[in-house]
Amino acid sequence: MRKFSILAAILLSILILPAYSPRAAALTADEILDRVDENMYAQSSVIEAEMTITYKDRVVKKQMHIENEGKDKAYSEFLAPERDKGIKYLRLGDNLWMYHPSVNRVINIAGHQLRQSANGSDFSYEDMMERSKKLQDRYTVQIAGNEQLGGRPSIVLDLEAKVSGITYYRVKMWVDSEYFIALREEYSAKSGKLLKYLQNSDIQKYGSRYYPTRITVKDVIRDASATEMVLKKVQFDVPLGANAFSKDRLH
């Protein structure tokens, strides 16, 4: 009987311990979310990315240049393919403008349009806008458990919106308990209906910060599509010019 107890204890420790990091164990749910925000939120960033959009049997690759400052300013420009080249977006707070070279015109994207697909991807414009905002400002959080995800120990967090008018009322998040990066995020409506899920991988270290360089997103509502974004070049906390987020850039 004693032998059996020892064997059971060993088996249990093999199964549980990898998912139970002592670094994460001492943290509360808010503190874990805070650590996630610390990784994801930067004073400024400049990113060169490639977005691969798969829709049925069609695969399109789009090259992008992205600049962010704080949670309210973002600028992005499509560099390829030819059809999208020169499309620019500028976000200031809750306002989003798009410049389209084919018509040489700047239009304001607002209201329900924000929830539509951004350039044919599984990201919506709103997803792009929300991504630079801190999670703690928008959600309350609880720890739901510990799991292994893709061979990595992770803490499962349940997030619930604490501000009104938010698209994804619930978020379930698997946070890497070593790097404090959300490995998987599931976005649901208030009813519990799954709307979108996202996976972060290829985590790199930039100074003291960990950041995923491969993001895969799937809009469940969009049939037969998936989007993968690979960050080719990432720079954090770099000084951006005074006119970096001026509407003058939208030409």
Binding site for another protein (CB under 8 A): 53, 55, 58, 60, 83-84, 98, 100, 102-105, 107, 116-117, 119-121, 222, 225
Residue among 117 and 167 whose Cβ is closer to another protein: 117
Residue among 109 and 240 whose Cβ is closer to another protein: 109
CB atoms within 10 A of CB 18: 14
Residue among 55 and 236 whose Cβ is closer to another protein: 55
**Nearest Cα to 182, choosing from 204, 168, 201?**
201
The gap from C-alpha 251 to its chain's centroid, in whole angstroms, comes to 28
Least Cβ distance, residue 55 to another protein (angstroms): 5
68 with 74: CB under 8 angstroms? yes
Residue among 23 and 247 whose Cβ is closer to another protein: 247
∠ CA 221-226-228 to the nearest 5 degrees?
A: 140
Phi, psi of 40 (to 5 degrees): -85, -30
Least Cβ distance, residue 40 to another protein (angstroms): 26
Least Cβ distance, residue 106 to another protein (angstroms): 10
Helices (H), the chain: 2-16, 22-25, 29-40, 125-130
Least Cβ distance, residue 221 to another protein (angstroms): 11
